């Protein structure tokens, strides 16, 4: 007699916001898949839709509300989670038919809400979860979240309110997850948190046994262990550090880049350079010698790429402050820069500061900083023309009318989604996503490189 397996309910997911939220979405979907749920790529096929929201800025909140509205219009059965879940009253007022609302990284609560909305079908006939869990990124790169929350109280930020104080994961748990990801095909690990430099501070850097030895929950120990992992081909994965505050011990990870344990890349959220603005922002680790440290880092790891983000138009920012920032950028010569116009956020201390900057001044300063950083980027990328650099392949193009194939990849100076690309011509048909190849750089523009496989 044939066994009839009842079709599993399907879940759709809309994931908004930062990579940390993306990791939350992956964890939720992995748990739901283990519970027997299928995944739907569209609204029509989903029994329930999850919207993982962002609540950092008012513009992000509006985007989240628009996504919730679209999901309700297209499907009707919607569960909301993520950072904006802390504002359930706002969501309910606009969308009273939402089935449930949970806050950021409340995995059990959102899974329980799905169980209630669309009860799972149990069965032991299908291998439900792939090794390493479900991913919302390509197979060859993965985000590795090492902690939740943040201990800082920056005037423009409400992350501690949304996600709580720093809560570091156990070092052995992080390394076990990384090992599984690499064995499942990950070629690039992107280490993320709210403050990677503070990893383990809350646990007093508690050591755990890992492969027969004690390893501390500390950024330098973590970096060395991640850089010691190997793929099935015996190749070290790229290990990229994000959200690194420039505490003194960051100096200790630069030699690890020179030794090949880490990808020579640091994502440091400087936010500004003028002392008065940094003081008003309540920024941590305001080190007057940071330019000197950057020069030292480059002397140790000459290929290091430093990316950062800056806020223009913060309350009280004067023209003198902004000129200070532009001069600082000229001296710092950062490789990758993102800029944002200051935007009030409900609950942020900065909302009460005097001397708000007019919108037209914010816009004018934004255009000036983007022009400055684009010129720096163009010069730095132009200096790479004629060099051969390693590139990880993200996408293979279709065969064109001449029979040639192009590909898109990234250098070690480029994180996915936020930095530039390397565009390749005339690649071999055997090339595939995730391959790391040596590329001869032939040309460059303000943000991207162009070349051919060596």
Q: Give the position of tokens 């030292």.
A: 296
Q: What is the pLDDT of residues 266-309, one digit of tens each?
A: 999 999 999 999 999 988 655 558 899 999 999 999 999 999 99
Give the CA-trace dihedral at 357, 358, 364, 366, to 10 degrees.
50
Q: Is the pTM of this model over 0.75?
A: yes
Of 243, 204, 249, nearest to 224 (Cα)? Answer: 249
Helices (H) and strands (E) in the chain, counts: 12, 20
**83 annotated ligand-binding residue:** yes
Q: What is the mean pLDDT of residues 366-393?
A: 97
With H, G, I as helix, E, B as strand and everything else as coil, classify residue 279. helix
First to last CA, the chain: 60
Instruction: Say how far apart CA 261 and CA 282 lie, in whole Å.
Output: 33
Q: What is the pLDDT of residues 237-265, one digit of tens each?
A: 999 999 999 989 999 999 999 999 999 99
**192 annotated ligand-binding residue:** no
**391 annotated ligand-binding residue:** no
Q: What is the pLDDT of residues 88-144, one digit of tens each?
A: 889 999 999 999 999 877 878 888 889 888 888 754 444 455 555 666 778 899 999
3 exposure class (CB count in 10 Å sphere: 0-12, 13-18, 19+): exposed
Contact between 38 and 11 (Cβ < 8 Å): yes
With H, G, I as helix, E, B as strand and everything else as coil, classify residue 311. strand
Q: What is the pLDDT of residues 431-448, one digit of tens each?
A: 999 999 999 999 999 999
**157 annotated ligand-binding residue:** yes
With H, G, I as helix, E, B as strand and everything else as coil, classify residue 84. helix
| Domain ranges, ordered by start, for the chain | 10-117, 141-382, 388-453
**134 annotated ligand-binding residue:** no
- If one looks up domain 141-382 in CATH, what number appears? 3.80.30.20
| Helix 219-227 vs helix 171-183: crossing angle, to nearest 10 | 20
Is CATH 3.30.750.24 what the domain over 10-117 is classified as, yes or no?
A: no
Is CATH 3.30.930.10 what the domain over 388-453 is classified as, yes or no?
A: no
């Amino acid at each position: 007699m044939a066994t009839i397996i009842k079709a599993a309910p399907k879940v759709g997911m809309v994931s908004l916001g930062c990579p940390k939220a993306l990791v939350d979405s992956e964890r939720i979907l992995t748990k739901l898949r283990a519970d027997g749920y299928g995944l739907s790529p569209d609204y029509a096929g989903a029994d329930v839709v999850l919207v993982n929201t962002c609540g950092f800025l008012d513009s992000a909140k509006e985007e989240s509300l628009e996504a919730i509205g679209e999901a309700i219009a297209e499907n009707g059965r919607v569960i909301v989670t993520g950072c904006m879940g802390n504002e359930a009253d706002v969501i309910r007022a606009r969308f009273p038919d939402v089935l449930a609302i949970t806050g950021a990284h409340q995995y059990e609560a959102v899974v329980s809400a799905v169980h209630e909305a669309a009860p799972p079908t149990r069965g032991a006939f299908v291998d439900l979860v792939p090794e390493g869990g479900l991913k919302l990124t390509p197979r060859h790169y993965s985000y590795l979240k090492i902690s939740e929350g943040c201990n800082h109280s920056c005037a423009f930020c409400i992350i501690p309110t949304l996600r709580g104080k720093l809560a570091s994961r156990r070092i052995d748990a992080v390394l076990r997850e990384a090992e599984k990801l690499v064995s499942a095909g990950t070629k690039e690990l992107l280490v993320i948190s709210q403050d990677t430099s503070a990893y383990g501070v809350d646990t007093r850097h508690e050591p755990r046994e890992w492969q027969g030895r004690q390893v501390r929950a500390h950024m330098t120990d973590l970096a060395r262990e991640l850089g010691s992992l190997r793929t099935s081909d015996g190749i070290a994965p790229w290990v990229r550090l994000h959200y690194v505050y420039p505490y003194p011990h960051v100096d200790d990870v630069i030699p690890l880049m020179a030794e090949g344990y880490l990808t020579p890349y640091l994502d440091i959220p400087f936010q500004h350079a003028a002392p008065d603005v940094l003081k008003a922002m309540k920024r941590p680790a305001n080190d007057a010698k940071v330019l000197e440290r950057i020069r030292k880092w480059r002397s140790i790891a000459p290929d290091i790429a430093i990316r950062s983000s800056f806020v223009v138009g913060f309350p009280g920012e004067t023209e003198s402050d902004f000129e200070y920032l532009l001069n600082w950028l000229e001296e710092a010569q950062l490789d990758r820069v993102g800029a944002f116009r200051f935007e009030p956020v409900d609950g942020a201390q900065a909302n009460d500061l005097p001397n708000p900057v007019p919108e037209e001044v914010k816009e004018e300063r934004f255009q000036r900083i983007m022009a400055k950083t684009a010129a720096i980027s163009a010069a730095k990328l132009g200096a790479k023309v004629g060099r051969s650099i390693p590139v990880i392949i993200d996408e293979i193009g279709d065969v064109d009318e001449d029979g040639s194939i192009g590909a898109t990849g990234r250098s070690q100076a480029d994180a996915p989604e936020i930095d530039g690309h390397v565009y390749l011509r005339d690649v071999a048909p055997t090339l595939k996503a995730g391959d790391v190849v040596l590329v001869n750089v032939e040309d460059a523009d303000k943000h991207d490189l162009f070349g051919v496989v060596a």
